[in-house]
Amino acid sequence: MSEYIANPIDWVANQVELYESSNGAEGTTLFDLPCIIVTNNGNKTGAVRKTPLMRVVDGDNYVLVASWGGAPKHPVWYYNLKSDPSVEIRDIDKVQPMSVHEVTDPVEKARLWKIAVAAYPPYEEYQEKTSRAIPVFVAVPV
């Protein structure tokens, strides 16, 4: 098993630690809205990386929005997932292996974007704040 390297931002790493150590009893929300934890491999180090994201669901699938608060650049995890689509997703105490792909079809992306904004309205402001098109992934059970 590869080494785990925590996210360098303290509040993000702390949320991962609390969520996992409590088996989903604590640390599961941001602004009172539910979060998931995505575990994946780093594309350069091969290390295990863990990223909390908002919980956006579409049937059995999860929708992952690479918004990073409307930052000018994609988050690093975007490149990790493009390079290795095998992830594990924790939703409270349910942990399942999943495979991700970026959604490029504009109609499907628009459908999923609506679902994402309904789940977490600030995504809309984040998209207005940045000139990049915020990427959207779908995670499907394997």
> Shortest distance, CB of residue 131 to ligand F42, whole angstroms?
16
Q: Which stretch binds ligand F42 (CB under 6 A): 41-49, 92-100, 103-111?
A: 41-49
Positive/negative CA dihedral, 83, 34, 130, 135: positive
Q: Which stretch binds ligand F42 (CB under 6 A): 5-13, 92-100, 102-110?
A: 5-13
Cβ-closest residue to ligand F42? 42
Tokens of 76: 């690093």
> Shortest distance, CB of residue 10 to ligand F42, whole angstroms?
10
Question: How many chain residues touch ligand F42 (CB under 6 A)?
Answer: 26
Tokens of 91: 């939703």
138, 63 Cβ separation under 8 angstroms: yes
Question: Closer CB to ligand F42, residue 96 or residue 130?
Answer: 130
DSSP string, 19-56: HHHTTTSSS-EETTEEEEEEEEE-TTT--EEEEEEE--
> Shortest distance, CB of residue 108 to ligand F42, whole angstroms?
19
Look at residues 120, 124, 142, 126 and name the one whose alpha carbon lies nearest to residue 53: 120
In what helix (H) or strand (E) does residue 15 lie, and over which residues does it extend? helix 10-21
Q: Compute the radius of gyration of the chain from its Cα atoms.
A: 14
Site string for ligand F42, 54-93 (x = CB under 6 A): x----------xxxx------xxx-xx-------------
List residues near ligand F42 by CB under 6 A.
Answer: 7-9, 12, 15, 30, 35, 42-45, 47, 49, 51-54, 65-68, 75-77, 79-80
